[in-house]
Chains A and B, each alone.
Chain A
Amino acid sequence: MIQTKKLDVGYKDILISNINFTVAPGQIVTIIGPNGSGKSTVLKTILKQLEKKGGSISICEKEIDSLKEKEYAKQVSMVTSQRLQPERMTCEEMVATARYPYTGRLGILSENDWQVVYRALEQVNATSLSDKDFNEISDGERQRIMLARAIAQDTEIIVLDEPTSYLDMHYKLDLLKIIHRLAKQEGKTILMSLHELDLVKSIADTIVCVNGKEVVKVGTSEDVYKGSFIQNLYGIEDDEFETHTGRMKLKLAEKTAFSKHVIMVQGTMSSAGKSFIVAGLCRLFKQYGYKVAPFKSQNMALNSYITKEGKEMGRAQVMQAEAAGIEADVCMNPILLKPTSDVGSQVIVNGEVLENMPAKSYFQYKTQLIPEILKAYHKLEEMVDIIVIEGAGSPAEINLKQNDIVNMGMAQMVNAPVLLVADIDRGGVFAQLYGTVELLEEQERNRIQGLIINKFRGDKSILDPGIEMLEEKVHIPVIGTIPYSHVSLDEEDSVTTRFDQKEENVINLGVVRFPRISNFTDFAIFEQMDHVSVHYMSNPHKIDKMDCVLLPGSKNTIADLKWLKESGFEVNIKRASKNIPVIGICGGYQMLGNQIQDPYSVEEGGYIEGLGLLDINTVLEKEKITKQVEGSFPKVEGPLACLSNQIYRGYEIHMGNSTGKEPLINQGNVYGSYVHGLFDAGNIASLIVQTLAKRKGISLEEKEFDYQAWKESQYDLLAQILEENMDVKKLFEIVGVEWHEKEN
């Protein structure tokens, strides 16, 4: 038993005074405290290596000063963290040194002494080490031997000063298990200092806490591992220590220094409104006088756009560039994937077709495109002040996260801060945000600097408590709640509300909804017009109610042509063509011809009969044609004669080569053209609608519809909505640009 009463300890001056604790036989008392807090000073004083400065220490009920050296040595043994390097000493000899107080003048061990030594070695499972050189065993084994040494000294009390320092987990646990057994099974009195607070929690019966000035607490682990006591003792943050386990937690400095002049918008799901927010941010920054550009590393879309240089890119970035007020450039979207089947895509890099690839091989391949992405990004960086990056789908697709190049992978590449957009309209907005944030890695999570709730309808004050709770949980501010709005923009994915059922209108345009429909934005202009409805038809009987049938482009003309025939559209289109105009664009145009040949198996291979409404033949070539076109139509016959000499502007993008070379082929009521965006230029769309109305005997005094001006107004509207419903100052802070009053 050790008992201290009003003990003062220290080297020259008193370090800790008034120490009172008792270690009873069979008990383990542990001293804890930060480095230099006096743990060793207390132990050394009890070990008589330091003179006590006051008070008393009693060892087995005898005052320490009254004990002669040899008597003391028979009561107290010790183990320290000191690394001994004795010359030419075996482990057995090391343990044997402990018999010192029991041997005679010359220190020769008796048979009994050796028995004690061997038993001690057995107790620490180190019998096999006995003949090994003490300097040639591991730190862990050495400390075991030192414990055996203490055991061999055959004392009631064992004092250990940080015995587990330098040891690996195995030896730490091993050593403490032996120490525990010594106390509990052999009734030894154990006093030790330890740094591993989790182990202290498990092993100590009583904990003595010192802080370099005083004993701040003596108690059980329940008393000590409570509140912020340990944290205060060691001078660490409250959340750097887990009270219930005794474990420390390493909190690394968050890397808050993100790149400036860039922001990335990611969504909790597809169609959460990323493209929309990006476009709005582009316009907003433009309004503040910044030159800004959109960027998306990889687009997966059927719709594409051909730039002036004849490069193919995603339409969404074209729309966003328009909102930013700059010319679209292929470096805004270096990778474009156009799905050709359920499991494969055409891979377009920097606007040019690389090859068709099954999804699985692309998943492996895509990391090789990182240099291309970065090249495009850095090129764009040279051109503008701010880049707004768009993500794709959700960043928390944990099955696909490896090799990501479009969400967090992209953000990491350019060290961009991220805004996360959730769609409240589809429900579970808090779960969307919380779930997404929680599924991310910590460093990814740190990247998210703001949350945005999109498509909100109703009273925001009802939402606010939820926002507060969410912010508390994820520690990320919600910087915007964007109301549901009817702003119309070109969209990227096939997944939109465009194909929903619509009400009949004065003029009804019927677009055949191919399963592999592409470039359906060709007809977007009609959707913006009063009195006109654009119907996407999956049912051939709907044709009867239409004033005009439109056949859009297709990513797989032959497959969609087969579908056209099987679904009954063929018959109905042929019948309709006798009464109303039928217009085919690109793929749709090819289908209207006599036949399509695919000698190089670009699509399905072989050959297929067309609808035979136009007298042209198409051969699918290996080379893809992509170009911007401009010109004026020659004289146009038939119901759409109004288009004669009209200026058209657009782009072509097709693998096929048809016999009809004119920009607009006509045969009866049937028209065909390769030009995408045909209807956008001038007032072509307007002319068509008026013609159709006239044919119905209705006069529509449609003003000349300026699509461009209308789009501009939409972008401004979008920017206004964002500005009114977002913390713009916070946004600017995240982007790292100075906020200032808008210049008018």
Chain B
Amino acid sequence: MKKRVSTVYITMVLVLIGLSFVSLRIGSVSTTTDPIVYQNIVTNIRLPRILAALFLGGALSVSGYLLQTFFQNPIAGPYVLGISSGAKLFVALTMIIALEMGITLSSVMMIASAFVGSMLAMGFVLIFAGRVRNMSYLVVCGILIGYICSAITDFCITFAQDSNIVNLHNWSLGSLSGMDWQDIQIIVFFVTVCVLLVFFLSKPISAYQLGEGYAQNMGVSIKRLRVVLILLSSLLSSIVTAFAGPISFVGIAVPHLVKGVLRTSKPIVLIPATFLMGAIVTLFCDGIARSVFAPVEMSISSVTAIILVPVVITILLKKQERRV
């Protein structure tokens, strides 16, 4: 058990370092160009992007893990439950209004509006969750909320001024491009704080896995834990959405991948591993997104969907088999 954990952790760290180096070296501009230009590209474009992928991927995965624990539903995740879409809608609205009024949006404002959007979407999901016990219905509700939010977002984009459209459109597809060091500072700060908080919740989360009744009997303050879980998971996915737009399936798939590899359900082990694995997967997918059809860049969600949906399906089928 312990041996497996340390092996997995060491492997993940090594893979992450390796992948980061590879990512630094690949791109539409090759090493053969002017070393100064190349250096500039690496430091100011590729490195921030890699760091963004690491932290945002990790944040998304941890957010997914929290939602799965909270809803006791294996296919919960910020994207599936419509939380990302809610965040997207509010960021889009804020952007349009801000551009209209000629104000430049700060990163913190982006995060704040995304957080408001995700909390609203989460509120709807919670209302439904209270009424439906069936896990599939919950997910259907989330998807429907996602559709409504996307529809409204599209509506807003249609009536926005032309100059804003390109910017908005790119963002709403989800992309890790165009991060600067200032963005990275904010991302690293917020994500680190949130993930650390989550890590220190691993004890009550482990109790929460037995259901609220047992958790309470063990001395967990259920009401407080619920609020904290919702706030943290929403905040994490808001950060991601604010900077990179909605990124699909990472939130669902990564926690399962981690549980499969570590073969445990202990949050204290799972939470850091989920963060690491989310970083690896997002970095890998972003690498593909920007290199396969270079110089044209794909949306990261397309890549994550293609790679992770089969993973999700396999996991679900295996789970079904185990139950029978």
Query: Which A residues contact B (CB, under 8 angstroms)?
Result: 47-49, 69-70, 72-74, 76-78, 80, 82, 84-89, 93-94, 97-98, 100-101, 103, 105-108, 135, 153
Contact = CB atoms under 8 A, between A and B. Distances in A.
A69 B221 contact: yes
9 contacts: A49-B216, A69-B220, A78-B217, A88-B263, A98-B218, A101-B218, A106-B202, A107-B206, A135-B322
B10 interface: no
Contact of A106 (B207, B218, B268): B268
B207 A86 contact: no
Given A87-B265, A135-B322, 16 more contacts: A69-B221, A70-B219, A73-B218, A74-B219, A76-B217, A77-B217, A87-B209, A88-B265, A89-B265, A93-B265, A97-B218, A98-B218, A100-B207, A103-B203, A105-B203, A106-B268
Name the prevailing secondary structure of the B interface residues: helix
B259 A88 contact: yes
Contacts of A89: 209, 265
B264 A88 contact: yes
Q: Max chain A CB contacts within 10 Å: which of B202, B211, B219, B322? A: B219
A87 B259 contact: yes
Nearest to A150: B217
Contacts of B216: 47-49, 69
A73 B203 contact: no
B259 A86 contact: no
Nearest 6 Cβ contacts at the A-B interface: A73-B219, A107-B203, A100-B218, A70-B219, A69-B219, A88-B265
Given A88-B259, A88-B264, A47 B210 contact: no
Contact of A100 (B200, B203, B264, B266): B203
Contacts of A82: 211, 213
Contacts of A108: 268
B58 to A, nearest CB: 20
Contacts of A97: 206-207, 210, 214, 218
Interface of B: 200, 202-203, 206-207, 209-214, 216-221, 259, 263-266, 268, 322-323
A153 B210 CA distance: 14
A78 B219 CA distance: 12
Given A69-B221, A100-B220, A108-B268, A86 B203 contact: no
Given A100-B207, A107-B203, A78 B214 contact: yes
A78 B220 CA distance: 14
A103 B217 CA distance: 15
A466 to B, nearest CB: 64
A82 B207 CA distance: 16
Contacts of A107: 202-203, 206, 268
Given A86-B210, A87-B259, A106-B268, A47 B217 contact: yes
A86 B265 contact: yes
Contacts of A70: 219
A386 B218 CA distance: 75
Contacts of A77: 217
A47 B219 CA distance: 11
Q: Max chain A CB contacts within 10 Å: which of B200, B210, B212, B221? A: B210
A107 B210 CA distance: 15
Given A106-B200, A106-B268, A107-B203, A101 B219 contact: yes
A105 B263 CA distance: 23
Contacts of B268: 106-108
Contacts of A72: 219
A106 B266 CA distance: 11
Contacts of A101: 218-219
A259 B266 CA distance: 68
Q: Max chain A CB contacts within 10 Å: which of B200, B212, B265? A: B265
Contacts of A86: 209-210, 265
A160 to B, nearest CB: 12
B211 A84 contact: yes
Nearest to A101: B219
B258 to A, nearest CB: 11
Nearest to A76: B217
A85 B320 CA distance: 12
A76 to B, nearest CB: 7
Q: Max chain B CB contacts within 10 Å: which of A74, A89, A93, A100? A: A100
A105 B218 contact: no
A80 B206 CA distance: 19
Contacts of A49: 212-213, 216
A539 B193 CA distance: 122
Nearest to B68: A87
A105 B206 contact: no
B256 to A, nearest CB: 9
A98 B259 CA distance: 22
Contacts of A100: 203, 207, 218-220
Contacts of A76: 217
Contacts of B266: 93
Contacts of B221: 69
A76 B214 CA distance: 11
Contacts of A87: 209, 259, 265
Contacts of B203: 100, 103, 105-107
A137 to B, nearest CB: 13
Contact of B213 (A80, A94, A106, A153): A80
A74 B210 CA distance: 18
A107 B217 CA distance: 15
